[in-house]
Chains A and B, each alone.
Chain A
Amino acid sequence: MISYLVFFACIVLILSLLTLGLNLQWGFTGLFNAGVVGFYAIGAYTHAILTASPQPQYLGNFGLPWLVGVLAAMAATALAGWLIGLVTIRLRGDYLAIATFGVAVSIQLVTLNWEPLTGGSQGLTRIGKPFAQLFETPFGFNLWFLGLMIVILGTTYWALDRVLLSPWGRVLKAIREDETAAVALGKSARRFRLEAFVLGSTLMGLAGALYVSFIGFVSPFDFLPIVTFQVWAMLIVGGSGNNRGAVLGALVVWGIWAGSGVAVTKLVPPSRAAQGAAIQVILIGLLLVLVLLFRPRGLIGEAAVVSRHVND
């Protein structure tokens, strides 16, 4: 049981990183990124290609150390975010959503078809796990990975909090609330939007690298559009515009996703398993709707911000 909970917690923390990245883009800057999974995929494949143990039939699989893979994954996603941002960032709202969605689908198709590099539909295996050889049992490794995730997520969370309280963070919110006003005050909306987009994408790339190094396998099926939907659900349920909400949303939504499956196997007789699975899908939808009915701004909505200098 504990072993499962540790595993579950690792997945939640990885998903939290994705949600934090999206929160920076949507929650604070108002960028409608519907291609979350594309950046997740770039991070995941960069890490996999660099760290997987060598195979003659693949161009990549360099067998590099884990840390190199993680840093390169972040760099590659930042670069991809910058390039994609350059051409799409001026698009508003729904238009940006459609463009990013298209980009994510294209990235998934590239991973499916660029077989010499990505292994195509067969995927890449033996991906670098951090210090896995030191642990004899999967529980030991998962526990260590959980510790690592807590440090990484904690650092990210702290850094994001700092950065969002800084003048830079305030400009992001200003752009989200009223771009014209922000521009009138002499801020380059385009530059700030691009910066937030790149930073958010980098976090998604980091999440991708951590996910494949936790699981040890990657294939294009990991990056279907449903993942983007799940991350959005996490952010909205948790409360967009609030980093604590983003993390909580990841926990609650993934908890509902996994927990409903357990509930169904407990309550539905095995001969009705196929129908039970359909009930699970309905249950997930129902719980998400209920959360939003009772907490329309998410479980923890954005905190009202009053300037520290009000009483000066």
Chain B
Amino acid sequence: MERRGRSAVVSAVALVAGVLAAAPAAAQTCPVKIGGVLPLTGSMAPITKKIAQAAELAIEHVNAGGGVKGCPVQFILRDDQGQPTVGVDAAKYLVEVERVPAFTGTISSGVTGPIIASVTAPSKVVQITCCSTASPFTLDGRSGGYFFRTIPTSKTQAYATASETARRGMKKTVVVYINTDFGTDMLRFYKAAVAKLGGEVIAEVPYNDNQPSYRAEVTKALAAKPESLLLIGFPKDAVTIVREWLSLGGTKSIALNNSMRTMDFVNGVGAKFVEDVFGMDNAQVAGPHVDAFNKAFEEKFQADTKGPGVHTQYDALMVMALAMNISKDLTGPSIKDAVRRVHVPNGTPVGTGPAEFKKAVELIKAGKPIKYFGATGPIEFDANGDVTGPALVWKIKDGQIVTDRSITIEDMQTLFKRVEN
């Protein structure tokens, strides 16, 4: 028994060591390695398929356009299975064994969080995600500035809402919000923005979804004697809340979030009662750089680009490859600084696709600044490593939802600077 046990120990150790030793020593020169961690299997797998394809397309475009520092790029993609321990292990392997200076990933915030805390920040490697939106990751420098994302967070909408409520002169606002990470994030960023832009939140009332009545919450909100209401939530509950709000004598000056831009909401409350409301929504970017990506993707994979994370994943890798070309060496700290130089205000505009990437590489070689316009529009990171997107203001006219005005991405970037500086 004893001897058999020992041989089992030895063979098990040999098995594990053998698998790990199969990894060859990290190459110092060509090819340049870029890592990826995505939930290729597990509950996220259905949406990850297109995201992984977008990543593959980006790497193909980078290589066709000259690669990184003259070397072809080798993309090493690992599966996190939607499980934090597996994701952390995969990221650690990429950084320590494959020696990638930068990697992309991942989708679930529950996996991205521990990777930032235990791999990205301590090992000083760059991480760009297509999809994790949880706000704490980029706050107060806990990622050491090594974490970026190409997806706009709820901050974009919250700031846009604040700029619109300020523009309309809304005062003494009460915020009624759904008690989820989305609702609490929106409230926090809205309050930060109105403090700079003008306006005042006099009460905050959280609510839980799927209740038959919100009389208690509405009564509490009205007790603060507000002159306007900002309602953050989802249409079904919002219909109940707004009806109760109006029937108890609440003001008609109401601001709403993106989810309420649906006729279910308008008809649910009654179009004639909501003539004065307005709301916000994210707007879709348009332009040749977006079309070029859509066309390339559709041609290669015979599928459309609809779905979460497809455009943002492409941009995550394009930004990474451009930054690696700009960076003086391929170390995390240099690449981190270079990420902020892929979209310089006075740079030469470059778009998506291999030809544009080639143009960008030539400009970089000549020491000229570039200005990257990606599949999601202009990519400019704020101090926290977040991007913004364009937004629009909608209102209800003759019982229909119409666009009131648009907020371009440039306006949004100006707005971010006003709020955060």
Which positions in A face B, CB cutoff 8 Å?
Answer: 1, 3-5, 7-8, 11, 57, 115, 119-123, 125-127, 137-138, 141, 214-222, 224, 226-227, 244, 248, 251-252, 255-266, 270-271, 273-274, 276-278, 280-281, 295, 299-300, 303-304
In the bound complex, what is the Cα–Cα distance between A295 and B12 (angstroms)?
12
- Total CB contacts across the A-B interface at under 8 A: 180
Closest to B98 in A: A265
Query: 17 A-B contacts, Cβ less than 8 Å apart?
Result: A115-B179, A120-B181, A122-B109, A125-B142, A126-B117, A215-B114, A219-B114, A221-B108, A251-B13, A260-B19, A261-B79, A262-B20, A263-B19, A266-B23, A278-B41, A300-B5, A303-B1
Distance in angstroms from B182 CB to nearest chain A CB is 10
The listed residue (B4, B16, B86, B134) touching A259 by CB distance below 8 A is B16
User: In the bound complex, do residue B8 and residue A248 qualify as a contact, i.e. CB atoms below 8 Å apart?
Assistant: yes
When A121-B110, A270-B75 are in contact, do A5 and B8 touch as well, CB less than 8 Å? no
Q: Which 6 A-B pairs have the closest CB atoms?
A: A221-B110, A259-B19, A277-B40, A255-B16, A277-B79, A217-B117
Chain A interface main SS type: helix
User: In the bound complex, do residue B59 and residue A270 qualify as a contact, i.e. CB atoms below 8 Å apart?
Assistant: yes
User: In the bound complex, do residue A273 and residue B181 qualify as a contact, i.e. CB atoms below 8 Å apart?
Assistant: no
The listed residue (A7, A115, A218) touching B184 by CB distance below 8 A is A115
Interface centre among B49, B56, B85, B134 (most CB of A within 10 A): B85
Distance in angstroms from B35 CB to nearest chain A CB is 10
Which positions in B face A, CB cutoff 8 Å?
Answer: 1, 4-5, 8-9, 12-13, 15-16, 19-20, 22-23, 25, 36, 40-41, 48-49, 52, 56, 59, 74-79, 81-86, 88-90, 92-93, 96-97, 108-111, 113-114, 116-119, 122-123, 134-136, 142, 179-181, 184, 188
User: In the bound complex, do residue A5 and residue B110 qualify as a contact, i.e. CB atoms below 8 Å apart?
Assistant: no
When A7-B96, A303-B1 are in contact, do A219 and B113 touch as well, CB less than 8 Å? yes
Q: Which B residues touch A261, using CB under 8 A?
A: 78-79, 86, 89-90, 93
In the bound complex, what is the Cα–Cα distance between A86 and B1 (angstroms)?
38
User: In the bound complex, do residue A217 and residue B86 qualify as a contact, i.e. CB atoms below 8 Å apart?
Assistant: no
User: In the bound complex, do residue A259 and residue B113 qualify as a contact, i.e. CB atoms below 8 Å apart?
Assistant: no
The listed residue (B40, B86, B116, B188) touching A274 by CB distance below 8 A is B40
The listed residue (B12, B25, B116) touching A248 by CB distance below 8 A is B12
Q: Which A residues touch B25, using CB under 8 A?
A: 1
In the bound complex, what is the Cα–Cα distance between A197 and B78 (angstroms)?
38
The listed residue (A115, A222, A251, A299) touching B84 by CB distance below 8 A is A222
Closest to B182 in A: A121
User: In the bound complex, do residue B96 and residue A273 qualify as a contact, i.e. CB atoms below 8 Å apart?
Assistant: no
In the bound complex, what is the Cα–Cα distance between A108 and B181 (angstroms)?
17
Distance in angstroms from B91 CB to nearest chain A CB is 10
The listed residue (A3, A122, A220, A244) touching B96 by CB distance below 8 A is A3
The listed residue (A125, A258, A299) touching B8 by CB distance below 8 A is A299
Distance in angstroms from B326 CB to nearest chain A CB is 24
User: In the bound complex, do residue A122 and residue B79 qualify as a contact, i.e. CB atoms below 8 Å apart?
Assistant: no
User: In the bound complex, do residue A265 and residue B110 qualify as a contact, i.e. CB atoms below 8 Å apart?
Assistant: no
Q: Which B residues touch A11, using CB under 8 A?
A: 85, 89
Q: Which A residues touch B108, using CB under 8 A?
A: 221
Q: Which B residues touch A221, using CB under 8 A?
A: 82-84, 108-111
In the bound complex, what is the Cα–Cα distance between A258 and B90 (angstroms)?
7
